[in-house]
Amino acid sequence: MSTQIEITINGDRYQGTVENRTLLVDFIRETAELTGTHVGCASEGRCGACTVLMNGEAVKSCLLLAVQADGFEVQTIEGLANNGKLHPLQEAFWENHGLQCGYCTPGMLMALSEFLKNPSRDEHEIRTAMSGVLCPCTGYVHIVDSVKAAVDKLEAMDPHDREQLFAPIGEV
Ligand code: FES
Ligand code: FES
């Protein structure tokens, strides 16, 4: 059985007729051709590489059907930078060696971008926020350092600019 759906991804509308069993991650990667969202397990919810924001909340896009996202706003890693300027979290990962192979990084950044709406340097809170995303490479220490650096960057920003970072993409 198929259904006609429309999902807004990074501010752009994508329409399609999908089989009802189509996963959201497959819609993102194949219909929208946004391949920055990765699949790191057998779409079983174990790795978190497929994490995106759906109406601002971090979700594993392999655990949702595309039809469940019909009418929703989705943000993927391709939508994290704004007008060619990296998100402070991306800058912090770059500057603090928060990645090695980079396979987990899109999902890690999306999960942590939700966390930064209520930023904290508390290590336990940071580790809890990233606990849904596995990173076999880094040992996580540099990722935690990167998040703390991103919190510093956010606090140094003009409050209006900081607010814009978390506004729905169509409203920026
Ligand atoms: S692809 Fe592994 S949790 Fe979604
Ligand atoms: S950087 Fe390689 S899996 Fe995280």
How many whole angstroms separate alpha carbon 10 and alpha carbon 53?
A: 10
Specify the pLDDT at position 170.
Answer: 59
Q: Could you tell me the distance, in angstroms and rounded to a whole number, from the CA of residue 65 to the centre of ligand 1?
A: 13
How many whole angstroms separate alpha carbon 156 and alpha carbon 127?
A: 23
Q: Could you tell me the distance, in angstroms and rounded to a whole number, from the CA of residue 68 to the centre of ligand 1?
A: 17
pLDDT tens per residue, range 136-164: 999 999 999 999 999 999 999 999 988 88
Specify the pLDDT at position 61.
Answer: 98
* Pocket mutation for ligand 2, best pick of 41, 50, 104, 146 (most atoms within 8 Å of C-beta): 104
pLDDT tens per residue, range 66-81: 999 999 999 999 999 9
33, two tokens = 């051709």
Q: Domains, the chain, ranges and CATH? A: 2-79 (3.10.20.30), 88-167 (1.10.150.120)
What ligand 1 atom has the least distance to the C-alpha of 46?
3
CA distances to 8, 39, 158 from 60, rounded to whole Å, are 17, 10, 31
How many whole angstroms separate alpha carbon 146 and alpha carbon 130?
A: 12
Neighbour tally for 105: CB within 10 Å:
23
42, two tokens = 């057998």
How many whole angstroms separate alpha carbon 144 and alpha carbon 166?
A: 21
What ligand 2 atom has the least distance to the C-alpha of 40?
3
Place of tokens 């896009």: 61
Specify the pLDDT at position 19.
Answer: 98
Specify the pLDDT at position 171.
Answer: 58
Query: Which runs of E-coded beta strand occur in the chain?
Result: 2-9, 12-19, 51-54, 57-60, 73-75
CA distances to 15, 49, 72, 104, 129 from 46, rounded to whole Å, are 29, 9, 24, 12, 15
pLDDT tens per residue, range 92-134: 999 999 999 999 999 999 999 999 999 999 999 999 999 999 9
Specify the pLDDT at position 165.
Answer: 84
| Percent of the residues in the chain that have a pLDDT greater than 70, as a whole number | 98
